[in-house]
Amino acid sequence: MSFREESGSEDGGRSELKKPFLHTGSWYRMGMGSRQSSLMEKMGSSASVIRDSSISAFLCTLIVALGPIQFGFTAGFSSPTQESIISDLSLSLSEFSLFGSLSNVGAMVGAIASGQIAEYIGRKGSLMIASIPNIIGWLAISFAKDYSFLYMGRLLEGFGVGVISYTVPVYIAEIAPQNMRGALGSVNQLSVTIGIMFAYLLGMFVPWRLLAVIGILPCTVLIPGLFFIPESPRWLAKMGMMEDFESSLQVLRGFDTDITAEANEIKRAVASSRRRTTIRFADLKQKRYSVPLMIGIGLLVLQQLSGINGILFYAGSIFKAAGLTNSDLATCGLGAIQVVATGITTWLLDKAGRRILLMVSTAGMTLSLLVVAVVFFLKGTQSEDSDLYFILSILSLVALVAYVISFSLGLGAIPWIIMSEILPVNIKSLAGSVATLANWLTSWLITMTATLMLNWSTGGTFTAYMIVSVFTLVFVILWVPETKGRTLEEIQWSFR
């Protein structure tokens, strides 16, 4: 088996060979000469909006961020709707648990396909493909009369989410200016947390069928929005579509910006990746491939092994133990805390850097998990009526919130950003799919084993998660490079 990079021997042959199956056109496509001046005159002062590279890339990011909002809404949907769906459709608890887990199964299938879909039909095309099963899935759930439509809808949603989880961070990394790539990249995780919070919040007031209909909205808006943003210039260059490549890059950087240096750097990187058309598995032992593969996959696996899904699953019980009667409201509060903490990460990423935030994040998670583990070991020796038991419950709640904040400050968003930055262009599609699949598979395993582990020993479970956090901190210190302020091409050349 091998990682294949298709290419033709001549430019003309390459363009014909690499003509994409689906390429969504955009309003901006035009020559950059006199027609640019004509457009600027017609648009008048409104053209100043797109002159600024920051604004142009930011607006594109906001549009594709609808995909991660869909991702988060799917993840959060099952929590507030559990009782009503079980009651209305006469499901058992195990049948509903299967419904919740099927999104992970669908996402694993979507992850396997995501790299190749994004490679052959483009980043925009793959997001359009991902939106369709999401819409169909939500409709199937909203009209479900029994578990069959419910399960089918959840699988379709999961497939779309699996594609979105790979494509969006890659697209953002490929369009963002190097001084904004961290901030724009973290919008992906910020949007996921916003989607989760909306699902929790609306689920408190809206019937589950109507909530499923609301779930259609992000992808319904995303599809037409894709026609008004440029395709990834790096993908266009790789496909040999040089006129579209330059048009896309010019729009992203602003019509008044000289893109010559960046365009030449991208062309050199693409040309270098074409010198060898086939990468064999034996070649992956080379540092240029093995190190970024290890870092990308390692961070995405450790992100889930730290137990975030298992801990959030147990959050309601901790809230009740702390004396909070409305656990749903407390869960919404926890979702809001995630949004705020991830928003802070968005602001800090291009100032502080990836490595320092990952180290602060994993160190904070380690300390928080240590406190929770010790608290639960001590609670086992106390009477539930004692004052000390109540104090320990409050302490476990505070430590849980500190854990979620620490996770959101680094390990929640940054692994996806680094994965999209460090993977070499000629193995990105397959390697990115493998990394995304590993993330979803680990997420599913943690979710499925959380209940068993917590029933075995609550303190022991948090201790296990703490050990993983310690290992993650060591992994970051030893292996993860700083990518702040460097172009994608510079990052990938550094592994050679």
pLDDT in tens, 157-207: 999 999 999 999 999 999 999 889 999 999 999 999 999 999 989 988 999
Q: What's the confidence (pLDDT) of residue 31?
A: 45
Determine, yes or no, domain membership for 78. yes
Determine, yes or no, domain membership for 247. no
Range 21-25 contact pairs with CB under 8 angstroms and sequence separation of 24 or more = 21/120, 21/121, 21/125, 22/121, 22/122, 22/125, 22/128, 22/129, 23/121, 23/122, 23/125, 23/231, 23/241, 24/122, 24/124, 24/125, 24/128, 24/226, 24/227, 24/231, 25/227
Rounded Cα distance, 461 and 92, in Å: 27
Rounded Cα distance, 491 and 496, in Å: 10
Contact 122, 24 (CB under 8 A): yes
Q: What's the confidence (pLDDT) of residue 44?
A: 43
Taking the CA atoms of the chain, what radius of gyration do you get in angstroms?
23
Determine, yes or no, domain membership for 39. no
95 CB neighbour count, 10 Å cutoff: 16
Q: What's the confidence (pLDDT) of residue 157?
A: 95
> What residue has token string 């909530």?
211
Q: What's the confidence (pLDDT) of residue 327?
A: 66
Determine, yes or no, domain membership for 479. yes
Per-residue pLDDT of the chain in tens (496 residues, 90 and over written 9): 344 444 443 344 433 334 444 454 444 554 444 444 443 444 344 444 444 556 889 999 999 999 999 999 998 898 888 889 999 999 988 888 889 889 999 999 999 999 999 989 999 999 999 999 999 999 999 999 989 999 999 999 999 999 999 999 999 999 999 889 999 999 999 999 999 999 989 988 999 999 999 999 999 999 999 999 999 999 999 888 998 999 999 989 888 888 899 999 999 888 876 655 556 556 667 777 889 999 999 999 999 999 998 777 666 666 665 556 666 777 788 889 999 999 999 999 988 999 999 999 999 999 999 999 999 899 878 877 788 888 888 898 889 899 999 999 999 999 999 999 998 877 888 889 999 999 999 998 988 888 788 778 888 999 999 999 999 999 999 999 999 988 888 888 888 7
Rounded Cα distance, 483 and 179, in Å: 10
The pTM (predicted TM-score) of the whole model is: 0.85
Q: What's the confidence (pLDDT) of residue 496?
A: 73
Tally of domains within the chain: 1
Q: Which of 307, 421, 308, 413 is nearest to 357 (CA)?
A: 413
Determine, yes or no, domain membership for 309. yes
Q: CATH no. for residue 160? A: 1.20.1250.20
Q: How far is CA 491 from CA 14, 367, 436, 477, 480, in A?
A: 26, 32, 20, 18, 12
> Is 280 in a helix, a strand, or coil?
strand
Determine, yes or no, domain membership for 241. no
Domain that holds residue 303: 55-230+279-493
Determine, yes or no, domain membership for 245. no
Q: Is 470 exposed, middle or buried (0-12, 13-18, 19+ CB in 10 A)?
A: middle
Determine, yes or no, domain membership for 343. yes
